[in-house]
Structure formats: C-alpha cells, structure tokens
Amino acid sequence: MRKDRISELPDALLLKILSFLPTNIVVATSVLSKQWRSLWKLVPNLEFDSEDYESEHYTFSEIVCKSFLSHKAPVLESFRLQFGSEKQNLVDIGLWVGIAFSRHLRELVLDFYPADPGTGTTFTFPSSLCTCNTLETLKLVLRILVDMPSPVVMKSLRTLHLEFVTYKDESSIRNLLSGCPGLEELRLYRGDDSDIEVFTIEVPSLQRLTVHDNNDGPEFWGYLINAPSLKYLLIEELRCPEFCLNAPELMEANIGDVTSITNDKFLGSLTSLKRLLLNLSPLEITYPTGSIFYQLVSLEMYTREAKWWNLLTLMLENSPKLQVLKLTDHCLNFHKNGLVGGKWNEPKYVPECLLSQLETFVWKRFDWGREEEKEIATYILKNARRLKKATFSTNPIDLEELTKLKERRKVLNELDGVVRASNLCHLVLKFDASYDVSNSS
C-alpha cells in the first residue's frame, strides 16, 4: 500500500505531469528521491510568479537566474512570468526573455503588476528581442509598454494576446503586427490609451479576432481593420465611434456590448456571415440600406435593449436563408420591467426566411408579461412555414412569483393554441426549471 507507484511511471509521462505545475513546485520534487533529483531540469516549461517567492537567502531575480542555469531541456516550450516592480530589477526581465529565446521558446507570457499602479511604472518589451523565429504564442498583460520603432521578425507567431498593455504610438502597433506574417489569432483588451487615435490591424493571415475596448475618450477615433482571411470575430465591448472592417471571408461573429458606433457600414461589413450573435442597442446602430445577409443561417439576439424588436425585424427582412433563430436574455436574474414598452410593427411583407427557410426557433427567458414579445412569438409561429421546432422558456419561478404561475401558464398556453403555419412544428413550452410541456400540432 505504501509503494511509490508514481516513480514507476516513465520519465516522459512524469515530465508531462510536471509541466502543468509552477516551477517552484517542480523544483521542490527534487528532494523526493535520487530519480527525481534532476528530473525537474528537463521539464520543458518555466513558470514564475514573484509573489510566490519569499526567501531570506535569495532574491527573486537570483532564483530565476539559478533556474535558467540549471535547466537542461533542449527546447523551452513555455516561459511564463508574473512580476511586480518591487520584486526585481526590470532589466533582468529582458535578460531572461533573451535566454528563453535562445532555447527555441514556443510560448512567452509576461504579466506585469506594479505594486502601486498610480506610479505609472511600466516594463518596456525589448524590441531588440523580437527576432525569435520559434515563438508561436506571445501574451503581454497589464503594464507593459509596446515600443517597436521598426518591424519585428517573428515568422512563427500564430497567437498574440495584448491585454491592457500600452503603446508608444500607432507605428508600434503596425510594426508589431506587420512582422508576424503567420499570425492567426489576435486578442485585444484595451482601456484608456490617449496616445492612440486609430488602431490599425492589417494582417492578411489573421483568422480569429477578439476586441474588448472600453476607451470612450474623444481622441480615440476607432479601429481600421483589413483582414481578408478572418473567419471569426468577437467584440466583447466597444465604446469608440468607428469600426471599419474589411473581412470578406468572415463566417461567424459575436457582437457584444457595443454602444457608440456611428458608422452605418458596421453591420454592412458583416454580410458574409453564416452565424451571428447580436447584443446591440438598436438606438445606437444605423442599419445600412441595401445590405443583405445572403449567407446567414443562424442568428442569436439578446432581448435586453429597448426596442430590440426593431433590429430583429430588419434582420429577418434581410436574411433570406436564415434557418435558426434564437432570442435570449443572457442574464438569469434580469427583469425587463424597466424597459420602455412599445408597439411592435410587423413587417409589411412576410420575410422570405419565414416562408421557406426557418426550421428552429428558440426563445430563452421569454417575458410572458410583455405584449410586444407575445406579438412577435405569435407572428413567427403563424408565418414560419417550414418550422420544425419552437422552444419557449421563462425564468425559473421564485417564491415571490408563485401567485403568477397560473397567469404565466395561461400566456404560454395561448402560444400553444396559435395556428401554426407548419404542420410539422413541435412546440416545447418550459414554464420553470421543473415543469415542461411538449406538444406537436
């Protein structure tokens, strides 16, 4: 029962297990036995967090340096470093990155969190080191300054994350991106960066782009993006007035919290999509006249914003091949009582997608108490001729709403009684977490 079965595993498997652990824990395994004494030196990953190292005899910089000197892995798969300015000399960081690059580094993650963010202390990523031909993933986080006076040379880079870093100027952005001819994934998280007026992304190889930007300063114009190979776009948050996109191959987009774009070409640049999730304010977005989503087969929309149904009508009228429609409120405990009600005006003509394409209709957290939502649901059921399944669900009922249960069931039963255009439509009504009703017409 006390036999050491872990040590009987092959070294290759042990190295794989150790590669998931921080380096300080990996080094600690060297005291287990003679077999483990040197095993840690071959682990292909090095991971350090200055908060985890407190020693009376060595500084954090000395510990990292000793680890590099002892490390024997022929290829360094990953070097992850979280550090604060009070723990070590920032000059050492550049030295370690240079050593890692010389060992054919594949992934580099630098996360700089100064003890006092108000001091303005930053770590400048060494542009002289941006010539690593083996680096495939680069992640820079927080108070790191991107200062690239000339184009970098990172031919193998596939993934780049820039999370709340700062940029010396717009040229630094262009020089960084232009030197990555194989870049496929880019994630941008930005806050207030007053030195940038236009954020230009021109990467022919880019396939996935994520943007989270809460910068709403008057000096920031917005984004200018030319990505002819882009397949997936995720916008988590956007406050800037302009977002110009050229992505003719774009297949899927998730457009989240966008509140101030004034460019009427924004939705027009997404017409190549097959799948689209929208969480837009109809009051903020101008729908481009004449833009047709000829390829769109799946649409999901959030129903939290006032008069969201106006945008839904426009999307139905201009998506002739739509097969899947999902309406949802992603916040479980959100109530729409604060939204201003209004009359929904049904389309002048029944949209083509309802007549010949729509097969699946899902409405999550359907608000049974709002008249416009009942009207929309009824209209779709009455006109979707090829509909195969329609699912309606409401928020789970709490103790305070038990008295409204009969009223809720009455409304949903009214939907069940709607004469549906499709004889094959299977209607599923979900009253709460435990009570479902299914019915086929």
Instruction: Copy the structure tokens of residue 338.
Output: 């604060």
Predicted local confidence at residue 70, as pLDDT? 83
The stretches in the chain having pLDDT less than 50 are: 283, 332-338, 340, 433-438, 440-441
**Using an 8 Å Cβ cutoff, are 385 and 355 in contact?**
yes
Predicted local confidence at residue 436, as pLDDT? 45
Predicted local confidence at residue 94, as pLDDT? 86
Predicted local confidence at residue 35, as pLDDT? 66
Rounded Cα–Cα distance for residues 188 and 194 (Å): 16
Predicted local confidence at residue 334, as pLDDT? 44
For 429, residues 6+ apart whose C-beta sits below 8 A from its C-beta are: 392, 393, 412, 413, 415, 416, 436, 437, 438, 439
| Buried b / exposed e along 8-44 (16+ C-beta atoms within 10 A) | eeeeeebbeebeebbbeebbebeeeeeebeebbeebb
> Among residues 210, 204, 208, which one has the least CA distance to residue 226?
204
Predicted local confidence at residue 335, as pLDDT? 46
